[in-house]
Amino acid sequence: MDVNPGTPRTDDGPLRLARPVHRLSPDSADLHHDAVIMREAGPVVPVELPGGVPVWAVTRDAVARQVLRAPDVFSSDRRHWRALHGGEIPADWPLLGLAAPQGRSLVNVDNPDHSYLRGPLATVFTEKRVRGLQPLIEDVTDRLLDRMAAAAHATADNTVDFRQQVAWPLPMTVISHLLGVPECDHSMLREHFDVLFDDTQDPKSAMADLIAYLHRHLQRMRRAPGTDLTSDLLRLSDGKRLTDDELVAALQVLIVAGHETTVHLLVNAVRTLTTHRDQLDLLLSGDVAWSRAVEEVLRWDPPTANFLLRFATRPATLAGADLQAGDPVMISYIAMGRDPERYGPAAGEFDVRNVRGHTSFGHGAHVCLGAPLARLEGRIVLERLFGRWPALTVASAPDRFPTVLMNSYSGLTVRLAPADDRPCDIPAGV
């Protein structure tokens, strides 16, 4: 297996897993800067994750697609991770539960187990069902925007945190409606998610609490089934029905991934469009569809930065890098999104007129099941937000959430400038 023959080298010789070209840190001010360093070092390069854990990082789109469609060589199952079973990875490594989850769920098994687990979800989580959520998403969006306007008008400078007011509660409300989770549990789930995606905290307790909650949720749905996805999964015939542990693992993936990805997509989209006024004008004029803006944000500033690991099941040469059996391989979506080999010399430019596809929702058997929902939420929110406040600006530089896995910010303070008070263009960010 070789995409790009020739062994990558540093000035000191061939690349080796034990000699990282870059160290990723949750305190990094700019993950795109980290991505440039990794991408310029080669298509497959050794990097160090927080906690001193070495992995191979894939920085090219074509190479990532090859890895993601070859589970026989690059498995999702962490039982292949040589360093983990050799005691070299601390049991309390904060990233372990997300980068290489334990147990048996959609994200960490290969076929035939993956098809067995995904099949029932695909049966009930259909595109028709997602399309049916559009009125709900539109209604919730309008109500949240009204609430955001009231919060902004109560301040002296007409500012408000878009993440807190809209980007976080919208996908939580939608995924909770989909799964039958009551609104009174949203704040508890938020506390758990904030810990799970913070590389500086130990997520084991939050993960255990979330799993226990989902078991209780299953029992509640058994006693009082509804029209939600959870109830439909419980109603499946014996041939398609999952065990409780399998159902909880599936719900955990849906509720965490379905929420967090959309939060970051919305925040990144607003931040990007407010710093690319020429592109926003094309959308506001109707010359370009809002759905194209969603796709370009997913490529240029993806919600997922460096996520999930694959493990070499045998020695392999990947884009010239010599991997040993058991080596971990990390897909760097944030590096791939601006890959000049895929997108050409203008890969670093944000251009809603030239949407060229992306791999931000994965590839192959593990492509994100919730991608249609995230796209729908993104389009509706952006169109309604900028339709009401076309001159909206970001009031202050956002602080990054402390993680290398997600491309995330802890908040996004915006100013709701009236339409007739349009600010001058400001330089675009990275």
pLDDT digits (tens, 9 = 90+) for 181-236: 998 998 888 888 777 777 777 777 888 888 899 999 999 999 999 999 999 999 98
Domain boundaries, the chain: 9-415
Using DSSP, state whether 178 is helix, strand or coil.
helix
- Give residue 274's Cα distance to chain centre: 21
Query: Does the structure show a pLDDT above 60 at 8?
Result: no
pLDDT band at residue 5 under the 50/70/90 scheme: very low
Burial pattern 168-194, b for ≥16 Cβ within 10 A else e, equals bbbbbbbbbbbbbbeeeeeeebeebbe
* Whether the predicted pLDDT of 89 surpasses 80: yes
177: pLDDT strictly greater than 70: yes
Cα 213 from Cα 182, distance rounded (Å) = 12
Decide: residue 10, CB within 10 A, 0-12 exposed, 13-18 middle, 19+ buried: middle
The pTM assigned to this predicted structure is: 0.91
Rounded to 5 degrees, φ, ψ at 317 are -105, 120
d(CA 304, CA 315): 28
Cα–Cα dist 5/16, whole Å:
16
> 418 preceded by cis ω (within 30°)?
no
User: Quick one: CA dihedral 8, 9, 15, 21, positive or negative?
Assistant: negative
202 Cβ partners below 8 Å, 6+ apart?
92, 94
pLDDT per position as a tens digit, 123-134: 999 999 999 999
Helix 186-196 / helix 244-274 crossing angle, nearest 10 deg = 80
pLDDT band at 425 (very low <50, low <70, confident <90, very high): very low
Dump pLDDT digits (tens) for 145-160.
Answer: 999 999 999 999 999 9
Buried b (16+ CB within 10 A) or exposed e, 110-144: beebbeebbebbeebbeeeebeebeeebeebbeeb
Q: Report residue 404 as tokens.
A: 């290398």
Please return the burial class of 214, using the count of CB atoms within 10 Å of its CB with bins 0-12, 13-18 and 19+. Answer: buried
- Cα radius of gyration (the chain): 22
Does the pLDDT of residue 100 top 90, yes or no? no
- Tens digits of residue pLDDT in 272-331: 999 999 999 999 999 999 999 999 999 999 999 998 899 999 999 999 999 999 999 999
How far apart, in whole angstroms, are the C-alpha atoms of residue 408 and residue 404? Answer: 9
Task: Judge whether 28 and 404 are in contact, CB under 8 Å.
Answer: yes
Question: H-type helices in 224-357, by residue range?
Answer: 229-235, 244-274, 277-284, 290-300, 333-336, 340-343
At 383-393, the pLDDT tens digits run: 999 999 999 99
In whole angstroms, give the CA distance from residue 327 to residue 17. Answer: 8
Could you give the dihedral angle defined by the CA atoms of residues 186, 392, 151 and 403, in that order, rounded to the nearest 10 degrees?
40
The arrangement of secondary structure in 9-415, i.e. its CATH architecture, is: Orthogonal Bundle (1.10)
- What are the helix and strand counts (H, E) for the chain? 18, 13
User: What does the block give as tokens for 397?
Assistant: 């530089």
Q: How far apart are CA 339 and CA 348, in angstroms?
A: 8
CA atoms within 13 A on the CB side of 282: 15
CA distance 168 to 194: 11
Q: Average pLDDT over the chain, rounded to whole?
A: 90
